[in-house]
A = this chain, B = another copy of it.
Amino acid sequence: MTKIVILGAGMMGTAITIPLADRGHDVRLVGTHLDSDIIEEIHECRFHPRLRRTVHENVKPYILMGLGEAMRGAELVILGVNSQGIDWAAEMLGPVMQPDVPVIALTKGLAGDGQNLQLLPDVFRAGLPTHFRNQVQIAAIGGPSIARELASRQHTCIVLTGTNQVLLDWMAEIFRTPYYHIWTSTDVVGVEVCVALKNLYSLAVGSVRGLLEKEGPGKDSVEMHNLAAALFAQGVWEIGYLVEYMGGSLSSIYSLPGVGDLYVTSQGGRNTRMGRLLGLGMRYQEAKAAHLPEDTIEGADLAFAIGPTIINLVKQGKLNGAALPLLLRMIDIVCHDAPVEFPWDDFFVQV
């Protein structure tokens, strides 16, 4: 039995408690300041209102004030916050964590400071107290994992990535169940770049649904899977370029973190719902305000987080814009309210 603290009681932070609790671990689920209602409801009736699932009896819910208490004796910390909460998570955990307690990030994303792209585990590390930040071992989970499916114990295959293979094996054993299948990878860069970018490319794939609806059923009632598949392929193509640019391995692309995660994210969820609205002809700001004001759209958050840096790196000639026509278009769509139009002739350029 391992004592595990999860910070963030959203969909994924709570879904991950299921395999952990099934394995009999001591799981402590700590809500952020935004999760107070959720924690209260779990306290009252052990039900998670957004995940719409009963929370396992092995899981102890805590409000944020109880983080220090929850961390007592913790052997593993899991970050269940979203990409915008990663700095905050470091700030909260820094004062209460021991440097020898490893961390696993569920959070997907990249950051940009105008000059460089950064992986979220590195952003988290940078936010920890100076005197021990370099001692903390940080791993991450990537791969196709819709929270509600995992919470329903549907077969889910993921990759645990980190630099320390012994630690990865220990972590994998903690999580592994007959439905939660785990591989390990030391290609942190490849995994992190893949799982972050998939959110933005799934906006593109999702826009096809809107384009089809806009066109109306009159046109022979066919789908637009050819178009969706081409955007999917261009997404994978560009992810390949960026993984290589960042120093990751292509093998992460043609397995779970790359094609697997982009596939699952393209089948549904908030990114594709936003994509549909964009395909219908709405501009991003309008669609967000009118239809998804309360929802985190990770693909859009990524565009805001890295858009200016990507554009700058292209201007400086460090990134080759010819290799990233879809990424640049998606940044334009999200950050500058551009319409959905695809630069076909620029796709699949060998650089």
Residues of A within 8 A of B (CB): 52-53, 143-146, 148-152, 154-157, 181, 183, 219-220, 222-230, 232-234, 236-237, 239-240, 250-251, 253-256, 258-261, 263-264, 266-268, 342, 344-345, 347-348, 350
Given A157-B226, A219-B152; A251-B347 close (CB under 8 Å): no
Contact of A225 among B223, B255, B268 (CB under 8 A): B268
A260 in contact with B240 (CB, 8 Å): no
Given A255-B236, A256-B348; A228-B157 close (CB under 8 Å): no
A154 in contact with B260 (CB, 8 Å): no
User: Quick one: copies of this chain in the complex?
Assistant: 2
A267 in contact with B225 (CB, 8 Å): yes
Given A157-B347, A220-B53; A240-B226 close (CB under 8 Å): no
Contact of A181 among B148, B151, B152, B230 (CB under 8 A): B230
A149 in contact with B223 (CB, 8 Å): yes
A222 in contact with B149 (CB, 8 Å): yes
Contact of A263 among B53, B145, B228 (CB under 8 A): B228
CB distance from A225 to the nearest CB of B (A): 5
B254 in contact with A237 (CB, 8 Å): yes
Chain B residues with Cβ below 8 Å from A239 are 254
